[in-house]
Amino acid sequence: MTSAFGKVGVLYGGKSAEREVSLMSGAGVCEALRSRGVDAHLFDTGLRGIVELAQERFDRVFIALHGRYGEDGTLQGALELLGIPYTGSGTMASSLAMDKIMTKRVWLEACLPTPRYVVIAQDDEVPAAVAAIGLPLIMKAPHEGSTLGIVRVAEAEHALPAFREARQYDSVVLVEQFMTGRELTVALLGSGADAQALPVIEIVAPQGNYDYEHKYFSDDTRYLCPAPIESGLASRVADICLRAYRALGCEGWGRADVILDGEGGLWLLEINTSPGMTGHSLVPMAAKAIGMSYPDLCLRILEQARCKVGGEQARRT
């Protein structure tokens, strides 16, 4: 029964560069939960602080925040201290997944395929990075999402301006091998051995440019769900995404992005531990493909809300 959830806070908005998207995600989640009889309340963490969050006395919260101060482990740590069960991954997994550099290090340690990379912080490091990675390449701000701070470089003379653009978002820049191929994404639900992959989605953006505008506001991007790939390959994609999700210790829900190259190779790009829940978002699309409505998806995620630190015995003492 939805009344068993008690008073539910939907945390949205926030202070990151993805605030606009989070406002849309949170509004959608809150409306969906209310439609199923949940006592859900919006709480904008960009306008209200931790003291007010504690005063609300929420029984659990649904995190619909994207980016820094919501998806990066900072809020998760505060919720652990407050003893408020929350959706999604815990502090460590959230922090790792939000940091694209640390994500790649964990994946490489786990023998999972991800494009070659170097990390740079200064203008004078750009030529060596281009020589090491080769062209084309991608400059990424490692702590941003929603394609913010990401610039493709096809010619050497454009590398320095691209670095400076990405550098506006972060203290260092991830310089990554550009992988040519089909862009796939997989929504993931659950935790550990019980985690499941939803149908693979293929993203077909205009001129291959899946930027912020095409991700959230344009109707020009096409989403093929399930992706038109043979079943054996779909199983391989799902398996590698589940392995990547588990390697980082993710739980609750998330979404992994993969490139399928022309030779059938799979390359992990990143994982989102608090994916978008807007009208253009991919997790609801994948859920719909297996007959799960948007409100039922929100309930499924909310059901798994819990504190993650210390185990049940520690929380009882």
pLDDT tens per residue across span 136-182: 999 999 988 657 789 999 999 999 999 999 999 999 999 999 999 99
CATH number of the domain where residue 143 is located: 3.30.1490.20
For 196, the 3-state DSSP assignment is strand
For 80, the 3-state DSSP assignment is helix
**Residue type for position 182:** R
Instruction: Note if 255 is an active site residue.
Output: yes
- List 12, 99, 257, 294, catalytic entry: 257
- List 146, 191, 274, 281, catalytic entry: 146
Q: At what angle do helices 74-82 and 91-98 cross, to 10 degrees?
A: 170
Instruction: Note if 209 is an active site residue.
Output: no
List of residues 6+ apart from 224 with CB closer than 8 A: 201, 202, 204
Instruction: Count CB atoms within 10 A of the CB of residue 309.
Output: 15
> What are phi and psi for residue 41, nearest 5 degrees?
-135, 135
Instruction: Note if 274 is an active site residue.
Output: no
How confident is the model at residue 210, as a pLDDT?
Answer: 44
- List 25, 270, 274, 281, catalytic entry: 270
Please check the confidence at residue 186 and state whether its pLDDT lies above 90: yes
Do residues 302 and 32 make contact, with C-beta atoms less than 8 angstroms apart?
no
- List 13, 28, 145, 276, catalytic entry: 276
- List 19, 60, 68, 255, catalytic entry: 255
Quick check: is 249 in a domain?
A: yes
Quick check: is 136 in a domain?
A: yes
How confident is the model at residue 205, as a pLDDT?
Answer: 84
Quick check: is 291 in a domain?
A: yes
Average pLDDT over residues 88-105: 97
Tokens of 47: 């306008």
Instruction: Note if 22 is an active site residue.
Output: no
Instruction: Note if 281 is an active site residue.
Output: no
- List 12, 86, 210, 216, catalytic entry: 216
Give the rounded distance of the alpha carbon of 6 from its chain centre: 27
The pLDDT-based confidence of 279 (bands split at 50, 70, 90) is: confident
**Residue type for position 230:** E
List of residues 6+ apart from 302 with CB closer than 8 A: 5, 8, 33, 38, 60, 62, 87
How confident is the model at residue 180, as a pLDDT?
Answer: 93
Instruction: Note if 18 is an active site residue.
Output: yes
DSSP one-letter code for 110: T
The pLDDT-based confidence of 302 (bands split at 50, 70, 90) is: very high
Which of 137, 153, 177 finishes a domain? 177
Quick check: is 310 in a domain?
A: no
Quick check: is 212 in a domain?
A: yes
- List 9, 13, 14, 18, catalytic entry: 18
pTM for the model:
0.91
Quick check: is 56 in a domain?
A: yes
Task: Indicate whether 171 and 190 sit together in one domain.
Answer: no
CATH number of the domain where residue 190 is located: 3.30.470.20
- The whole-angstrom separation of Cα 185 and Cα 187 is 7
Instruction: Say how many domains are in the chain.
Output: 3
* Residue 121: domain span: 117-177
List of residues 6+ apart from 75 with CB closer than 8 A: 11, 45, 63, 65, 69, 86
Please check the confidence at residue 312 and state whether its pLDDT lies above 90: no
> What are phi and psi for residue 39, nearest 5 degrees?
-80, 80
Average predicted confidence (pLDDT) for the chain: 92
- List 272, 274, 281, 294, catalytic entry: 272
For 44, the 3-state DSSP assignment is strand
DSSP one-letter code for 263: T
Please check the confidence at residue 219 and state whether its pLDDT lies above 70: no
> What are phi and psi for residue 91, nearest 5 degrees?
-60, -50
For 238, the 3-state DSSP assignment is helix
- The whole-angstrom separation of Cα 72 and Cα 68 is 6
Task: Indicate whether 40 and 121 sit together in one domain.
Answer: no
Task: Indicate whether 230 and 294 sit together in one domain.
Answer: yes
Task: Indicate whether 108 and 211 sit together in one domain.
Answer: yes
Smallest Cα–Cα separation from 177: which of 131, 136, 208?
136
How confident is the model at residue 313, as a pLDDT?
Answer: 39
Task: Indicate whether 139 and 102 sit together in one domain.
Answer: no
State the alpha helices, DSSP H only, in the chain. 19-35, 50-56, 74-82, 91-98, 100-109, 126-133, 159-167, 212-216, 231-247, 282-289, 294-303, 311-316
Quick check: is 187 in a domain?
A: yes
Instruction: Note if 246 is an active site residue.
Output: no
Task: Indicate whether 207 and 285 sit together in one domain.
Answer: yes
Quick check: is 156 in a domain?
A: yes
Smallest Cα–Cα separation from 248: which of 136, 91, 128?
91
**Rounded (10°) CA dihedral 114, 234, 244, 296:** 140
Task: Indicate whether 137 and 279 sit together in one domain.
Answer: no
Task: Indicate whether 292 and 188 sit together in one domain.
Answer: yes
Instruction: Note if 216 is an active site residue.
Output: yes
Task: Indicate whether 202 and 257 sit together in one domain.
Answer: yes
